[in-house]
Structure 1
Amino acid sequence: MTQKALDNITVLDFSHLLQGPFATQLLADLGANVIKVERPGKGDLFRSLTFNNQWVGGSESPNFLAWNRNKRSLALDLKDPRAKEIIYKIVETADVVVQNFRPGVLDRLGFGYADLARINPRIIYCSGSGYGDSGPYVTRPGQDMLLQGLTGIAAATGRADGPPVPVGSGFADQIGAMNMVYGILSALLWRERSGEGQEIKVDLLSALLAHQGQEMLMAMNFNKDFQRPNSGIGHPGMDAPFGVYPTKDGWVTVAMSPYKTFVGILGDESLLAYDDPKTLFDQRDEIWGKLAALTKTWTTHDLIEALLAADIWCGEVKTHLRVAEDPQVQHMNAITSYEHPKAGTVKVVAPAVKFSKTPATVERPAPLVGEHTEEILREYGLDKL
């Protein structure tokens, strides 16, 4: 087996749903020994949730399968005194703990940072939450769409004559997961230098604000919110022609590109009358409509080819199913699969970061609940449950 960057790192993973499991899957892809602690019988809540009542292989949740490969499952009732003995034994030599329970839950069970740091001062303990661990929102559910609404993303997305639009994926949770990994890897590097572990706290509210840095800066420093356009302009702060345009058979995207060149390709010089920065912003909906009337006369393929030939920044709008078949996606081997004992062959997105010497790989399917309990207990010299 190829050596991996995190081969010597053990992660004790109490997390569930998306934020924590995606973070620990990223670590597992890099070789970390991730021990996923789950409820006996039921496991991670994502095992029982799915989209549109669709189950891979007839029984397995795609939501769970997506975020839990390369891990082993240890089934424990955390309220059972025997569980504390097992967890404390693993913590003696573990490197990282990840959890995204509501604030205070694991502390009350004896698995908080202070409890585990007494056993292993080198432990790195990463907690994820919706709103931090104090304040007026601390008891609120920290769910992805709720955070998108609260932090301005939904209000800035969509058309002015329609409702706010959440992003079509678990954006808040995934940004939170990336922040977890960023924090954990930084803490591991610091521990190599200092010998000291530490506690890391990641919350979705702060994560989403940080990833809207330019939008927040504009709003706060000019004391003015962005106004959503009524058209397919792609960002509330941008002018024409930035946006999404219809074709005969689909849609294309056009990013920052010379307006004059774009109009020249579409063949209506009368539109050059709009070509100044103030007009392109103030009248962007009107301009978009006139441009869209022209793009509708092209096929997607022909328009993309013409725009690329003129060095216009453009692309095709594709569905998830179509992008999986995209030639660049296939060239990059961005889609892979694993064999699952119940779901069969599961197609998944491959690890995104490429390493020349320690590549990330998919070697284990998402585990069954408690599948590795006895194996893990043997490794730590513990008796069967």
Structure 2
Amino acid sequence: MTDTQSPAPAALAGIRILDFSHLLQGPFATQLLADMGADVIKIERPGKGDLFRSLTFRNKWVGGSESPNFLAWNRNKRSIALNLKSLEAKSIIMEMAKTADIVVQNFRPGVLKALGYGYEDFRAVNPRIIYCSGSGYGEDGPYVDRPGQDMLVQGLTGIMAATGQADAPPTPVGAGFSDQIGAMNMVYGILSALYWREKSGLGQEVKVNLLAGMLAHQNQEMVMALNFNEDFKRPRSGIGHPGMDAPFGTYPTQDGWVTIAMSPYRTLVGVLGNDDLLVYDDPEKLFAQRDEIWRKLAAETGKWTSAALMEALLEADIWCGEVKSHLQAAEDPQVRHMELVTSYEHPRAGTVKVIAPPVRLSETPPTIRKPAPLVGQHTREILREYGFAEEQVNSWLASGVAYADEARE
């Protein structure tokens, strides 16, 4: 699917983004916009690029050289590598800003501004520009100098204390959840600002932070805690939420695990075939004795295979599902039906398997047109587009103001 063009128009075609972001939050946001057709120009450090290019899981590299972390969040972008501390690089970027629509960055507060790339700097050359900043804890306050990393924010906002079992340590979510929520909020803010600009002709500054995002996305838990002045208490069993009663949770089978959500308890007991469990069929008991009930239900589900239990539960209209690993999820029949696993060709990594864009539009579908770029892969191409003379471009490349992966140009 590399460098192919969809016959359908792209929803954000003609929108140009100057992307200073790195790691996960900002790059995921700009990838979502790029999938919808925006021209995302990723501005990277000469030679080194985005920090995620050098970080990976278990020291595994796709194609022997490329970070899966970077490949996950940077498709459909072009890379230009510039030395941001150079005055000449600043003149290049401000020339680009004159026709850009959006700037995205997630450096620590004040870092880009100190280099001359704050909102006011961009607005001075383009009043229509939308400048989106992502941070860990906002732009000021007692935590402004703290590192705003995903797991740290999970710990601060209650989700870690509410996840897992009571006798276990607080449990982080098994993905970069805070960062991904932050990315979604970036897109939400940027698209809102774009719509306002269509009516007013004016750009604006958008600020997103992980702390606020994680609290907002736990609103039902926060409303419960705040209004009853009582924290949730984690169960000691496989109950799936600290505020829920039995049978809500995960249950063992002979060959795996299944999940059971909000379902009539009496109906579930009927499927499992042990009427002795009906003694717990009371709303107060189902919460107060939920750990005990879970253990007894688990003893019954453990007599079934996952497939047989799923068939019986679905037949009884019980809300249930299998528990699958990432590789098993990729082979799930519904995942395959929706073609949610796809791939692109990368100049170094070869075929890279990825997850397809999650949003579908009937008239302007998102597409994967480009692989994640190499550092400075498009430096010369982008500078040419902005009308800089070849001699000038060569001079910048020679002096280190700019950097290009010439082998891939």
| TM-score (normalised: structure 2) | 0.94
Give the Cα separation in 1 of the matches to 2:87 and 2:201.
31
Q: State the Cα distance separating 1:52 from its structure 2 match.
A: 0.4
Partner of 1:61: 67
- Match of 2:324? 318
Q: Which residue of 1 aligns with 2:131?
A: 125
Paired residue for 1:362? 368
1:29 to 13, 35, 40: 35
- Give the letter aligned to residue 194 of structure 1: S
Q: Comparing both chains, which one has the higher relative contact order based on Cα–Cα distances under 8 Å and sequence gaps of 6 or more? A: 2
Matched with 1:329 is 335
Deviation for aligned residue 1:81: 1.0
**Per-residue deviation, residues 282-332 of structure 1 (Å, max 9, x unmatched):** 000000000000000000000000000010000000000010011100000
The alignment status of 1:273 with 2:273, answered yes or no, reads no
**Aligned letter for 1:373?**
T
Equivalence for 2:407: none
The percent identity for this pair of structures is: 74
Where does 1:1-385 land on structure 2 (aligned, <5 Å)?
A: 1=5, 2-382=8-388, 383-384=392-393, 385=396
For 1:151, the aligned partner's letter is: T
Q: Counterpart of 2:232 in 1: which secondary structure?
A: coil
Report the residue type matching 1:54 in the other structure: K
CA distance in 1, matches of 2:269, 2:369: 50
Instruction: For residues 121-175 of structure 1, give each alpha carbon's deviation from its aligned partner in whole angstroms, at most 9, with x where no partner exists.
Output: 0000000000001000000000000000000010000100110000000000000
Q: Distance in 1 between matches of 2:364 and 2:14?
A: 13
Question: Aligned to 2:358, what secondary structure does the other structure show?
Answer: coil
Residue type of the alignment partner of 1:106: L
Structure 1 runs (4+) greater than 2 angstroms displaced: none
Name the SS of the counterpart of 2:139 in structure 1. Answer: coil
For 2:91, what is the secondary structure of its paired residue? helix
In 2, Cα distance between equivalents of 1:316 and 1:362: 30
Q: Give, in whole Å, the separation in 2 of the partners of 1:82 and 1:50.
A: 33
- Residues of 1 paired with 2:212 and 2:89: CA distance? 33
Deviation of 1:42 after TM superposition, in Å, equals 0.2
3-state SS of the aligned residue for 1:262?
helix
2:318 aligned counterpart, secondary structure: coil
Write the distance in 2 (CA, Å) between the matches of 1:187 and 1:306. 50
Tell me which amino acid in the other structure corresponds to 1:124: I
Which SS does the other structure have where 2:376 is aligned? coil
1:32 counterpart letter in structure 2: A
Distance between the aligned counterparts of 2:276 and 2:308, measured in 1?
Answer: 22
3-state SS of 2:71 partner = helix
User: Number of aligned pairs?
Assistant: 385
Alpha-carbon distance in structure 2 between the residues aligned to 1:180 and 1:193:
20
* CA distances 1:242-296 after superposition (whole Å, capped 9, x unpaired): 0000000000000000000000000011111101111000000000000000000
2:184 maps to a residue whose letter is M
**One-letter code of the match for 2:333?**
P
- The 1-side partners of 2:250 and 2:125 are apart by 55
**1:6-25 superposed Cα distances (whole Å, 9 cap, x missing partner):** 00100000000000000000
CA deviations over 1:352-377 (Å, ceiling 9, x no partner): 00010100011100000000000000
SS of match in other structure, 1:17: coil
Instruction: Give deviations 1:209-253, integer Å, cap 9, x for gaps.
Output: 000000001111100000000000000000000000000000000
Q: For residue 82 of structure 1, report the CA deviation from its aligned partner.
A: 1.1
Deviations 1:341-361 (A, max 9, x none): 000000000000001010001
Correspondence for 2:399: none
Amino acid at match of 2:80: L
Query: Structure 1: which amino acid aligns with 2:93?
Result: I
Cα distance in 2, alignment partners of residues 262 and 57 from structure 1: 48
How far 1:104 moved relative to its partner?
0.4
Distance 1:307 1:238 in 2: 20
- List runs of 5+ in structure 2 lacking aligned partners: 397-409
Q: Which amino acid aligns with 2:107?
A: F
Unaligned runs of 5+ in 1: none
